[in-house]
Amino acid sequence: MSEVKEVLGVFGPGSTHWVGDGFPVRNMFPSNGIEVNPFLMLDYAGPTEFKPSDRPRGVDEHPHRGFETVTIAYQGAVEHRDSAGNSGTIRPGDVQWMTAASGVVHEEKHEREFARQGGTFEMIQLWVNLPSAQKMSPPRYQGILNEQIPHADLGSGSYARIIAGELYGVKGPARTVTPVNLFDIRLKAGSRVELSLPVGQKAALLLLQGYVLVNSSQALTGEAQIAVLGAPGEGLVLESKKDSTLLVMSGEPINEPVASYGPFVMNTQAELRQAVNDYNSGKMGHLH
Protein backbone atom coordinates (compact mmCIF):
# COMPACT_ATOMS: atom_id res chain seq x y z
CA MET A 1 0.00 0.00 0.00
CA SER A 2 1.28 3.45 -0.90
CA GLU A 3 1.58 6.25 1.65
CA VAL A 4 -1.85 7.00 3.11
CA LYS A 5 -3.34 10.46 3.18
CA GLU A 6 -3.30 11.99 6.66
CA VAL A 7 -6.68 12.57 8.33
CA LEU A 8 -6.51 16.27 9.23
CA GLY A 9 -9.72 16.21 11.26
CA VAL A 10 -13.25 14.87 11.64
CA PHE A 11 -16.13 17.33 11.80
CA GLY A 12 -19.88 17.39 12.21
CA PRO A 13 -22.16 19.94 10.51
CA GLY A 14 -21.13 23.55 11.00
CA SER A 15 -24.69 24.85 10.69
CA THR A 16 -28.23 23.76 9.95
CA HIS A 17 -30.78 25.81 8.03
CA TRP A 18 -33.51 25.69 5.42
CA VAL A 19 -32.81 26.44 1.76
CA GLY A 20 -36.12 27.79 0.52
CA ASP A 21 -38.97 25.80 2.08
CA GLY A 22 -37.98 22.44 0.60
CA PHE A 23 -34.44 21.65 1.67
CA PRO A 24 -33.52 21.33 5.37
CA VAL A 25 -29.73 21.13 5.17
CA ARG A 26 -26.77 20.42 7.39
CA ASN A 27 -23.85 22.42 6.04
CA MET A 28 -20.66 20.32 6.23
CA PHE A 29 -18.41 23.14 4.98
CA PRO A 30 -17.40 25.96 4.91
CA SER A 31 -19.52 26.88 7.99
CA ASN A 32 -17.19 24.97 10.35
CA GLY A 33 -13.96 26.40 8.91
CA ILE A 34 -13.14 23.42 6.69
CA GLU A 35 -11.41 24.18 3.38
CA VAL A 36 -11.38 21.47 0.71
CA ASN A 37 -10.10 23.29 -2.41
CA PRO A 38 -11.48 23.18 -5.16
CA PHE A 39 -14.81 22.44 -3.41
CA LEU A 40 -16.55 25.48 -2.00
CA MET A 41 -19.54 24.13 -0.10
CA LEU A 42 -21.34 20.92 0.81
CA ASP A 43 -24.96 20.82 1.99
CA TYR A 44 -26.49 17.54 3.15
CA ALA A 45 -30.28 17.81 2.87
CA GLY A 46 -32.32 15.41 4.96
CA PRO A 47 -33.12 12.62 5.44
CA THR A 48 -36.42 14.39 6.18
CA GLU A 49 -39.99 13.15 5.97
CA PHE A 50 -42.32 15.45 4.04
CA LYS A 51 -46.10 15.23 4.32
CA PRO A 52 -48.21 15.20 1.14
CA SER A 53 -48.71 18.67 -0.34
CA ASP A 54 -50.48 20.16 -3.34
CA ARG A 55 -47.72 22.76 -3.67
CA PRO A 56 -44.17 21.61 -4.46
CA ARG A 57 -41.73 23.04 -1.92
CA GLY A 58 -38.30 24.27 -2.92
CA VAL A 59 -36.37 27.35 -4.05
CA ASP A 60 -37.73 29.90 -6.52
CA GLU A 61 -35.58 31.35 -9.26
CA HIS A 62 -32.12 32.48 -8.17
CA PRO A 63 -28.80 33.10 -9.98
CA HIS A 64 -25.35 31.49 -9.90
CA ARG A 65 -22.07 32.57 -11.47
CA GLY A 66 -18.44 31.42 -11.30
CA PHE A 67 -18.76 27.80 -10.17
CA GLU A 68 -20.62 24.49 -10.59
CA THR A 69 -23.42 22.93 -8.55
CA VAL A 70 -23.52 19.14 -8.23
CA THR A 71 -26.72 17.61 -6.85
CA ILE A 72 -26.76 13.92 -5.87
CA ALA A 73 -30.14 12.33 -5.14
CA TYR A 74 -30.49 9.54 -2.57
CA GLN A 75 -34.22 9.71 -1.76
CA GLY A 76 -37.01 11.86 -3.16
CA ALA A 77 -37.08 13.79 -6.43
CA VAL A 78 -36.38 17.37 -7.57
CA GLU A 79 -37.51 19.21 -10.70
CA HIS A 80 -35.06 21.72 -12.15
CA ARG A 81 -35.40 24.37 -14.84
CA ASP A 82 -33.05 27.17 -15.79
CA SER A 83 -32.69 30.27 -17.95
CA ALA A 84 -30.51 28.38 -20.46
CA GLY A 85 -33.53 26.26 -21.38
CA ASN A 86 -32.51 23.14 -19.45
CA SER A 87 -35.03 21.23 -17.39
CA GLY A 88 -35.18 17.80 -15.83
CA THR A 89 -36.07 15.66 -12.84
CA ILE A 90 -33.44 14.25 -10.49
CA ARG A 91 -34.52 10.94 -8.96
CA PRO A 92 -32.73 8.55 -6.55
CA GLY A 93 -29.32 7.64 -7.98
CA ASP A 94 -29.32 10.53 -10.46
CA VAL A 95 -26.82 13.41 -10.48
CA GLN A 96 -27.24 16.92 -11.86
CA TRP A 97 -24.00 18.70 -12.75
CA MET A 98 -24.71 22.34 -13.57
CA THR A 99 -21.82 24.54 -14.66
CA ALA A 100 -23.16 28.03 -13.97
CA ALA A 101 -19.96 29.70 -15.28
CA SER A 102 -20.92 33.12 -16.76
CA GLY A 103 -24.34 32.94 -15.17
CA VAL A 104 -27.57 31.02 -15.02
CA VAL A 105 -30.87 31.52 -13.23
CA HIS A 106 -32.66 28.40 -12.04
CA GLU A 107 -35.26 27.00 -9.68
CA GLU A 108 -35.29 23.73 -7.75
CA LYS A 109 -38.58 22.29 -6.50
CA HIS A 110 -39.79 18.96 -5.15
CA GLU A 111 -41.03 16.89 -8.09
CA ARG A 112 -44.83 17.20 -8.32
CA GLU A 113 -45.65 13.55 -7.73
CA PHE A 114 -43.22 13.34 -4.79
CA ALA A 115 -44.86 16.47 -3.31
CA ARG A 116 -48.35 14.96 -3.74
CA GLN A 117 -47.44 11.64 -2.16
CA GLY A 118 -44.94 12.87 0.43
CA GLY A 119 -42.02 10.75 1.55
CA THR A 120 -38.39 10.80 2.61
CA PHE A 121 -36.12 13.41 1.01
CA GLU A 122 -32.32 13.05 1.04
CA MET A 123 -29.85 14.78 -1.28
CA ILE A 124 -26.42 16.40 -1.33
CA GLN A 125 -25.45 19.60 -3.10
CA LEU A 126 -21.76 20.26 -3.65
CA TRP A 127 -20.32 23.47 -5.08
CA VAL A 128 -17.16 23.13 -7.21
CA ASN A 129 -15.05 26.21 -7.97
CA LEU A 130 -14.00 27.17 -11.49
CA PRO A 131 -10.61 28.67 -12.43
CA SER A 132 -10.69 32.35 -13.42
CA ALA A 133 -10.15 31.47 -17.09
CA GLN A 134 -13.44 29.48 -17.07
CA LYS A 135 -15.64 31.59 -14.80
CA MET A 136 -17.17 33.52 -17.72
CA SER A 137 -17.47 30.57 -20.14
CA PRO A 138 -20.95 29.54 -21.38
CA PRO A 139 -23.13 27.63 -18.89
CA ARG A 140 -23.41 23.84 -19.28
CA TYR A 141 -25.88 21.31 -17.92
CA GLN A 142 -25.37 17.57 -17.40
CA GLY A 143 -28.29 15.44 -16.30
CA ILE A 144 -26.68 12.10 -15.37
CA LEU A 145 -29.09 9.22 -14.82
CA ASN A 146 -28.54 6.46 -12.28
CA GLU A 147 -28.10 3.85 -15.02
CA GLN A 148 -25.37 5.96 -16.67
CA ILE A 149 -23.16 5.84 -13.56
CA PRO A 150 -20.80 2.81 -13.60
CA HIS A 151 -19.96 0.74 -10.53
CA ALA A 152 -16.54 -0.38 -9.30
CA ASP A 153 -16.71 -3.63 -7.33
CA LEU A 154 -15.01 -3.24 -3.92
CA GLY A 155 -15.58 -6.86 -2.84
CA SER A 156 -17.81 -8.40 -0.15
CA GLY A 157 -20.89 -6.78 -1.67
CA SER A 158 -19.40 -3.27 -1.34
CA TYR A 159 -19.20 -0.98 -4.38
CA ALA A 160 -18.49 2.56 -5.56
CA ARG A 161 -20.55 4.51 -8.05
CA ILE A 162 -18.06 6.56 -10.08
CA ILE A 163 -19.73 9.92 -10.75
CA ALA A 164 -16.56 11.76 -11.82
CA GLY A 165 -12.92 10.84 -12.19
CA GLU A 166 -11.62 7.27 -12.11
CA LEU A 167 -11.30 4.40 -9.64
CA TYR A 168 -9.91 0.93 -10.40
CA GLY A 169 -9.98 1.74 -14.12
CA VAL A 170 -13.68 2.66 -14.03
CA LYS A 171 -14.36 6.19 -15.32
CA GLY A 172 -17.28 8.38 -14.35
CA PRO A 173 -19.57 10.06 -16.90
CA ALA A 174 -19.38 13.62 -15.57
CA ARG A 175 -17.37 16.05 -17.70
CA THR A 176 -15.40 18.22 -15.30
CA VAL A 177 -13.61 21.50 -15.98
CA THR A 178 -10.67 20.65 -13.70
CA PRO A 179 -9.68 17.18 -12.41
CA VAL A 180 -12.29 16.01 -9.87
CA ASN A 181 -13.01 12.60 -8.34
CA LEU A 182 -16.47 11.99 -6.91
CA PHE A 183 -17.40 8.51 -5.66
CA ASP A 184 -20.68 7.40 -4.04
CA ILE A 185 -19.58 4.43 -1.91
CA ARG A 186 -21.69 1.73 -0.23
CA LEU A 187 -19.83 -0.49 2.23
CA LYS A 188 -21.16 -3.70 3.76
CA ALA A 189 -20.47 -4.24 7.47
CA GLY A 190 -17.12 -5.93 8.04
CA SER A 191 -15.56 -4.94 4.73
CA ARG A 192 -12.08 -3.44 4.28
CA VAL A 193 -11.41 -1.35 1.18
CA GLU A 194 -8.27 0.34 -0.15
CA LEU A 195 -8.73 3.32 -2.47
CA SER A 196 -6.19 5.47 -4.26
CA LEU A 197 -6.62 9.24 -4.66
CA PRO A 198 -4.17 11.46 -6.56
CA VAL A 199 -1.12 12.80 -4.73
CA GLY A 200 -1.42 16.57 -4.33
CA GLN A 201 -5.21 16.57 -4.13
CA LYS A 202 -6.85 17.45 -0.85
CA ALA A 203 -9.76 15.13 -0.23
CA ALA A 204 -12.79 14.74 1.99
CA LEU A 205 -14.93 11.81 3.01
CA LEU A 206 -18.55 12.40 4.04
CA LEU A 207 -20.30 9.70 6.05
CA LEU A 208 -24.03 9.94 5.38
CA GLN A 209 -24.74 7.10 7.80
CA GLY A 210 -22.87 4.11 9.20
CA TYR A 211 -19.63 3.47 11.06
CA VAL A 212 -16.29 3.57 9.23
CA LEU A 213 -12.69 3.56 10.45
CA VAL A 214 -10.50 5.75 8.19
CA ASN A 215 -6.83 4.78 7.76
CA SER A 216 -7.04 2.68 10.95
CA SER A 217 -7.01 5.88 13.00
CA GLN A 218 -10.17 7.98 12.87
CA ALA A 219 -13.76 6.79 13.24
CA LEU A 220 -16.73 8.28 11.43
CA THR A 221 -19.91 7.21 13.23
CA GLY A 222 -23.63 7.87 13.13
CA GLU A 223 -24.54 10.31 10.40
CA ALA A 224 -23.37 13.55 8.79
CA GLN A 225 -19.67 13.42 9.70
CA ILE A 226 -16.86 14.53 7.41
CA ALA A 227 -13.15 13.66 7.44
CA VAL A 228 -10.71 16.01 5.71
CA LEU A 229 -7.59 14.42 4.22
CA GLY A 230 -4.26 16.09 3.43
CA ALA A 231 -2.81 16.51 -0.07
CA PRO A 232 0.34 14.33 0.34
CA GLY A 233 0.02 10.57 -0.09
CA GLU A 234 -2.62 8.73 -2.08
CA GLY A 235 -3.86 5.82 0.02
CA LEU A 236 -7.24 5.66 1.74
CA VAL A 237 -8.21 2.60 3.81
CA LEU A 238 -11.84 2.20 4.89
CA GLU A 239 -13.00 -0.42 7.38
CA SER A 240 -16.76 -0.57 7.92
CA LYS A 241 -18.20 -1.71 11.24
CA LYS A 242 -21.78 -1.27 9.95
CA ASP A 243 -23.38 -0.95 6.51
CA SER A 244 -22.29 2.56 5.48
CA THR A 245 -22.95 5.18 2.82
CA LEU A 246 -20.10 7.57 1.99
CA LEU A 247 -19.26 10.28 -0.50
CA VAL A 248 -15.56 10.58 -1.35
CA MET A 249 -14.32 13.70 -3.15
CA SER A 250 -10.92 14.96 -4.25
CA GLY A 251 -9.85 17.55 -6.78
CA GLU A 252 -6.94 19.49 -8.16
CA PRO A 253 -6.64 22.67 -6.07
CA ILE A 254 -7.43 25.99 -7.73
CA ASN A 255 -4.94 28.30 -6.09
CA GLU A 256 -6.51 31.64 -6.93
CA PRO A 257 -8.18 34.34 -4.82
CA VAL A 258 -11.80 33.58 -3.90
CA ALA A 259 -14.34 36.39 -3.58
CA SER A 260 -17.87 35.24 -2.81
CA TYR A 261 -21.21 36.91 -2.28
CA GLY A 262 -24.26 34.68 -1.91
CA PRO A 263 -24.72 32.76 -5.17
CA PHE A 264 -21.68 34.32 -6.89
CA VAL A 265 -18.06 33.11 -6.54
CA MET A 266 -15.46 35.12 -8.42
CA ASN A 267 -11.86 36.27 -7.88
CA THR A 268 -12.34 39.98 -7.03
CA GLN A 269 -14.88 42.29 -5.42
CA ALA A 270 -15.23 44.17 -8.72
CA GLU A 271 -16.26 40.91 -10.44
CA LEU A 272 -18.86 40.33 -7.72
CA ARG A 273 -20.33 43.81 -8.25
CA GLN A 274 -20.47 43.09 -11.97
CA ALA A 275 -22.27 39.80 -11.30
CA VAL A 276 -24.92 41.55 -9.17
CA ASN A 277 -25.39 44.22 -11.85
CA ASP A 278 -25.61 41.63 -14.63
CA TYR A 279 -28.24 39.66 -12.75
CA ASN A 280 -30.30 42.73 -11.84
CA SER A 281 -30.21 43.96 -15.44
CA GLY A 282 -31.43 40.58 -16.75
CA LYS A 283 -28.19 39.52 -18.47
CA MET A 284 -28.35 36.08 -16.82
CA GLY A 285 -31.91 35.60 -18.07
CA HIS A 286 -35.09 34.78 -16.19
CA LEU A 287 -37.54 31.91 -16.00
CA HIS A 288 -40.90 32.19 -17.73
Give the mean pLDDT of the chain: 96
Quote the pLDDT of residue 194.
96
Residues 187, 212: contact at Cβ < 8 Å? Answer: yes
Quote the pLDDT of residue 287.
84
Residues 69, 114: contact at Cβ < 8 Å? Answer: no
Tell how many helices (H) and how many strands (E) occur in the chain.
2, 24
Architecture of domain 7-251: Sandwich (2.60)
Quote the pLDDT of residue 286.
85
Distance, in Å, from the CA atom of 242 to the CA atom of 211, rounded to the nearest integer, reads 5
Quote the pLDDT of residue 233.
94
Quote the pLDDT of residue 116.
98
Q: Is 149 helix (H, G, I), strand (E, B) or coil?
A: coil
**Domain boundaries of the chain, sorted by first residue:** 7-251
DSSP type of residue 184: E
Distance, in Å, from the CA atom of 18 to the CA atom of 150, rounded to the nearest integer, reads 32
Distance, in Å, from the CA atom of 245 to the CA atom of 206, rounded to the nearest integer, reads 9
How does pLDDT run across 240-254, given as a tens digit for each residue?
Answer: 999 999 999 999 999
Is 1 a residue whose pLDDT tops 60? Answer: no
How does pLDDT run across 70-123, given as a tens digit for each residue?
Answer: 999 999 999 999 998 889 999 999 999 999 999 999 999 999 999 999 999 999
Quote the pLDDT of residue 182.
98
